[in-house]
Amino acid sequence: MENQKYAKIVKILLVVLIVLSVGVLLWGMIKGYPESGSPDNGTVAPLLYWAYIVLGIALASVICVGLYITATTNPKGLIKIGIAVVAAAVLFGVCYLLASGAPAINCSKPTTPTELKMTDTILNLAYIVGGAAILSIIAGEVLMAIRNKK
């Protein structure tokens, strides 16, 4: 019975979010989006802020629901989650230390050293995670091939 109550609440919240999202999108389309990013007429910023809000809600929901389910079904799994969070923080720290923060070439927009450092950090993080994904795919295929030969 309690699960049905939560499902109904989630369904209502999803409908509200969808209606608000469509409303923000339609408002921007009616008012008209600028053809280039520099002369913003007040439609791009609210759309981006709404996207940030919805992304934040999604991340918070996934994290909170995941922690709740893990805590109720497998409390020892919280230790694994903690280890994963610490590993992600260490990986981010390593990427931050590896980031050069060198000025962007042919960039007309003035950037601060903090923006450059953070951009390089995210790029390094993307390179490392992408490389790890490719290596794990290759390693998984090799292991499957070895196990199927026996």
DSSP 13-47: HHHHHHHHHHHHHHHHHHH---SSSSS--SSHHHH
Q: Are 29 and 11 in contact (CB under 8 A)?
A: no
Residue 135: pLDDT above 60? yes
State the DSSP H helix or E strand holding residue 83, giving kind and residue range, or none if neither: helix 77-98
Express each pLDDT in 121-130 by its tens digit.
999 999 999 9
CA 114 to chain CA centroid, nearest Å? 20
pTM value is 0.59
Residue 120 is predicted with a pLDDT of 92
- The predicted pLDDT at position 41 comes to 66
- Over 80: is that where the pLDDT of 38 sits? no
d(CA 4, CA 125): 40
| Average confidence (pLDDT) over 106-119 | 85
Domain residue extents for the chain = 1-73, 76-150
State how far Cα 55 lies from the chain centre: 7
pLDDT value at residue 117: 92
Q: Per-residue pLDDT tens for 53-99?
A: 988 988 888 888 888 888 888 888 889 888 998 999 999 999 999 99
Q: Which residues of 108-135 are buried (b: 16+ CB within 10 A; e: fewer)?
A: eeeeeeeebeeebbeebbeeeeeeeeee
CA 108 to centroid of chain Cα atoms:
28
**pLDDT of res. 29:** 80
Structure tokens at 64: 């909170």
Considering only residues 117 and 103, tell me which one the structure prediction assigns the higher pLDDT: 117
Averaged over 8-23, what is the pLDDT?
Answer: 87
pLDDT of residue 26: 86
